[in-house]
Structure 1
Amino acid sequence: MPRDESETGPEGGRRTSAAPPRLSVVMPVRDLAGYVDAAVASILGQTHGDFEFLIRDDGSVDGTREILHQWAARDPRIRLFESDESLGPAESSNFVVRHAAGQLIARMDADDVAHPDRLRRQLEALDAHPEACLVGSLFEGIDEQGRRVRPRDRSRLAAPTAFAPFPHGSIMFRRAAFDTAGGYRADADFWEDLDLYRRMAAAGDLLVIPAALYRHRSSPHSTRLTSSRRSVEASIDRMYRRVAGEKVAGRRNRRLKPDVWLSLGSTLLWAGRRPGVLLPLLRRGAIGMDRRSLAIVAWALWAEISPKTLRYCLRLATERRDRRIGARFHDHEVYRWEPV
């Protein structure tokens, strides 16, 4: 194996059992030294403990790799791969899946936290529903310090939508369906998860557990926010246009959908920061007189003036929606999500 794509850990970082694992947990990571401890600990502390844990350090320079070495030295389930070259979100995700031995794959994001019962609940869901190829869970949002800032929202399950009600890091899927769909695609970097789901839906049902088995962190260290801003904006614009069935070829230097700045600004808002998206939205957004455009401009203006009150009102509205719809969705059942 090339020097810059080495695998480390006790006994190669493999499980002590000779039998191949049924479940592999996979986690690419780049420059998340402040959060990776919590992510790794939440997987190693699962009530279902029979799995291998593949981690790829995607060219970190902030001390993340040293932290991962310490974890790999302590737990033989960890298989740590490291490289000085960053493959990017899609290809680093393909790498860990490609090297996994399990027929079931659970994704984990390195700045998030999994509920202790997450893997057990998802395994049970896939076992009970052989027609399903993927299961995710609803989530609670946390900020940089790990404080709960965003409540669960079961209303996300109540109406058809093009966007997944679960975060990328919460999913478990069948390896065969992933391979049939062709894995992650690099031309969908920064929305490679949604692109994958839409293709996997042809292979089987996509399920959602309404319990919040995942804590999704909003922080300025998100890959979307630390990568080239113009590249990320262009990619997110492609996402919205493809979902809407619009033409995306030949759009260089044209104005972008206002939703781009809502998407990027929301991460900073829930991280406790001021999004600062109003000016780029006004300068480069394809703003019309339609209700959606005006609502996003109003959101960006409010976020600029008082992000604290905007967070409070959004949190209150989410809690009310969740309470109103909650009786329809039970934590110990699963529900189908079909992207529209």
Structure 2
Amino acid sequence: MLLQSRTDAISVVMPVYNAMPHLDGAVSSILNQSHGDFEFVILDDGSTDGSTERLRHWAGKDSRIRLHVGKRNIGPAASSNYVVREAKGPLIARMDADDISHRERLERQLRVLTDRPDAGLVGTLCHVIDDQGRTVRGPDPWRLRHSGWFAPFPHGSIMFRRELFDGIGGYRDQCVYWEDLDLFLRMASLSKVLTMSEPLYEHRQSGSSTRIKCDPDRVERAVDLEYRCLARLDEGRDYEDLLAESTESRRLDPRIFQARGSVVLWSGHRPRLLGRLLRRGKLQPNLRTLFALGWTTLGSVSPGALRLALKGIAGGRNLAAQSEAKAPTVEWRLPRKTSFRLRGLAPEKIRDTPATAP
């Protein structure tokens, strides 16, 4: 799909919900970009921790900030749609409220999308930091050579074309807690999705992550749906019909306890999920169950040893990915060509929704 749009106007968008004490670092990393010609659209999604007052302080200091204050929390997918809807630029740069962008991030991503009209989205590799801002994991260039359904870049690092976002219908509430991956997959079905091999982003793993602070039962059911949908893609089918299914009584894919536990692990804490895995997991005599049991057990007993083991595995993979690490950008390689019926939120509904704070 050939995508045409002006590349001289950028909107940075950031939903915020209870992002203290990391909010100042996120905002300042955008305001201090080497490319300074942008608007910064922020939605405070019903924060209760002082984020609202801090955002008003920043908005009073910099006219590029367009702050919207919500009266109630509408959640990650709806708030993400809101800030894009309010944006004026043809290029949208996402930012997450507890992360850090490298000073040249916007400039470099703008250059990529200018040079590559066939690309609809570009993300970057990242460093993983903890609550204190310490780097706990370096970038993983092995993800650039690995064919898989999981994107090699974090959500907050992306810049994309607004026309592509509107064309696929934006984020979907049915995919809450993995609405970013669902968006990427649908974009990749119509356009090239690129990853910059140089890490231009610091992605924070902390206790403020939505996968930690939100209701664990709901998060686990959502991630289980994610894995079932990806299994559909493995079969060469889309997953639209699964989005309406109830998962209340299902035993859950054991991998979801690793996915939830990873956020806790890299934030420097002890993931205590073995009990939940035993109670709620779909345990079978296979390698998937065995690995999940080993991961959650070691995470409960010795999180430091688990972090060390995972770093060792990643280090070995990275050594085999030197050529990919030297390329400026690499296309995200999916295991097979994806095709979606794209029956999500219609673009005209996004545009016609009243432009007022929720």
Q: Which amino acid is the alignment partner of residue 73 of structure 1? A: G
Please give the residue correspondences for 1:242-257 in structure 2 after superposition, counting only pairs within 5 Å.
242-245=229-232, 248=242, 249-257=245-253
Q: Which position in structure 2 is the counterpart of 1:270?
A: 266
Equivalent residue for 2:304, pick from 308, 327, 330: 308
Aligned partners of 1:153 and 1:318 also within 8 Å: yes
Distance 1:81 1:110 in 2: 15
Give the whole-Å Cα distance in 2 for the aligned partners of 1:251 and 1:323.
40
Q: What does residue 95 of structure 1 align with?
A: 82
Cα distance in structure 2, aligned partners of 1:178 and 1:268: 31
Query: Among residues 140, 165, 175, which one is paired with 1:153 in the alignment?
Result: 140
CA distance in 1, matches of 2:174, 2:107: 33
Partner of 1:258: 254
Contact 2:101 2:202 in 1 (8 A): yes
Pairs within 5 Å for 1:1-340: 22-245=9-232, 248=242, 249-330=245-326, 333-340=328-335
Q: Is the 8 A contact 1:108 1:170 kept in 2?
A: yes
Q: Is residue 324–residue 330 contact of structure 2 (8 Å, CA) maintained in 1? A: no
| CA distances 1:229-269 after superposition (whole Å, capped 9, x unpaired) | 11111111100100111884343211000111111100000
CA RMSD of aligned residues (A): 1.5
Q: Say if 1:143 and 1:219, in contact at 8 Å, map to a contact too.
A: yes
Contact 1:303 1:310 in 2 (8 A): yes
Cα displacement string for residues 55-99 of structure 1 (whole angstroms, at most 9, x for unaligned residues): 100000000111111111111110111012111000000000000
Structure 2 CA distance, aligned partners of 1:46 and 1:321?
32
For the residue of structure 2 that corresponds to 1:73, the secondary structure is helix
Matched residue of 1:269: which SS? Answer: helix
Q: How many Å separate the matches in 2 of 1:21 and 1:336? A: 23
Instruction: Give 3-state SS (helix, strand or coil) of 2:125's partner.
Output: strand
Q: Deviations over 1:18-63 (max 9, x none)?
A: xx97100000010011111110011111111110001100000000
Which position in structure 2 is the counterpart of 1:6? Answer: none
CA distance in 2, matches of 1:62, 1:183: 28
Q: Do the aligned residues in 2 keep the contact of 1:29 with 1:110 (CA within 8 Å)?
A: yes
In structure 2, what is the Cα distance between the partners aligned to 1:263 and 1:125? 31
Q: C-alpha deviations, 1:111-157, integer Å up to 9, x for none?
A: 11111111111111111110000000011100000000011110011
Give the Cα separation in 2 of the matches to 1:199 and 1:32. 29
| Counterparts of 2:151 and 2:283, CA distance in 1 | 25
Contact 1:42 1:113 in 2 (8 A): yes
Partner of 1:244, secondary structure, is helix
Residue 310 of structure 1, CA deviation: 1.2
- Counting matched residue pairs gives 320
Give how far 1:320 is off: 3.2
Q: Deviations over 1:144-195 (max 9, x none)?
A: 0000001111001112101111000000000000000100000111000011
Q: Conserved in 2, the CA contact under 8 Å of 1:149 and 1:315?
A: no
Q: Is the 8 A contact 1:56 1:92 kept in 2?
A: yes
Q: Is the 8 A contact 2:221 2:247 kept in 1?
A: no
Q: Is the 8 A contact 1:152 1:212 kept in 2?
A: yes
TM (norm. structure 1) is 0.91
Scaled by the length of structure 2, what TM-score is found?
0.87
Over 3 Å counting, the alpha-carbon distance change for 1:118 and 1:179 in structure 2 is same
**Does the CA-based 8 Å contact 1:137-1:212 persist in structure 2?**
yes
Q: What amino acid is the match of 2:208?
A: H
C-alpha displacement at 1:338, in angstroms?
Answer: 3.5
Distance 1:79 1:289 in 2: 54
Q: Which amino acid aligns with 2:121?
A: L
Moved >6 Å (runs of 4+):
none
Select between 221-230 and 270-279 the one with higher mean Cα deviation. Answer: 221-230
Counterpart residue type for residue 221 of structure 1: S
Q: Is the 8 A contact 1:151 1:319 kept in 2?
A: no
Question: Which fold has the larger relative contact order, with Cα–Cα distance below 8 Å and residues 6 or more apart in sequence?
Answer: 2
Partners of 1:309 and 1:191 lie apart in 2 by 28
CA distance in 2, matches of 1:86, 1:121: 33
